[in-house]
Amino acid sequence: MNIIDELSWRGLINQQSDEEGLRKLVDEKAISLYCGMDPTGDSMHIGHLLPFMTLERFAKAGHHPYIVIGGATGSIGDPSGKKAERPMQTMDQVNHNVEALSNQANKIFSNFTMVNNYDWTHQIGILDFLRDYGKLFNVNTMLNKEIISSRLEVGISFTEFTYQILQSLDFLTLYRQHNVQLQVGGGDQWGNLTAGLDLIHKAEGQDAKVYALTIPLLLKADGTKFGKTAGGAVWLDPKKTSPYEFYQFWFNQDDKDVINLLKKFTFLSKEEIDKLADAVKTAPEKRLAQKTLAEEVTKFVHGEEALKTAEKITEVLFSGEIQELTTEEVAEAFHGVPSEEISSDPINLVDLLIAVNVDKSKRQAREDIQNGAIRINGERLTDTTTEIDPKDSFDGKYIVIRRGKKKYFLAKIN
Would you name the residues annotated as active-site residues?
40, 45, 48, 82, 86, 167, 188, 225, 228-229
| Residue 398 annotated in ligand binding | no
Q: Could you tell me if 217 and 189 are in contact, meaning their C-beta atoms sit under 8 angstroms apart?
A: no
| CA 162 to the chain's CA centroid | 27
What b-and-e string marks burial along 274-305, b requiring 16 or more CB atoms within 10 Å of the CB?
eebeebbeeeeeebbbbbbbbbbbbbbbbeee
DSSP state of 75: G
| Residue 286 annotated in ligand binding | no
DSSP for 180-232, written as a single string = EEEEEEEGGGHHHHHHHHHHHHHHH-TT---EEEEEPPPB-TTSPBTTEETTE
Distance CA 42, CA 33 (A): 24
| Residue 175 annotated in ligand binding | no
DSSP for 381-405, written as a single string = ---TT-EE-GGGSGGGTEEEEEETT
Name residues whose C-beta falls within 8 Å of residue 144's C-beta, 6 or more positions apart in sequence.
none
Distance CA 17, CA 191 (A): 11
| Residue 24 annotated in ligand binding | no
Residues annotated in a binding site for ATP: 228
Residues annotated in a binding site: 34, 163, 167, 228
Residues annotated in a binding site for L-tyrosine: 34, 163, 167
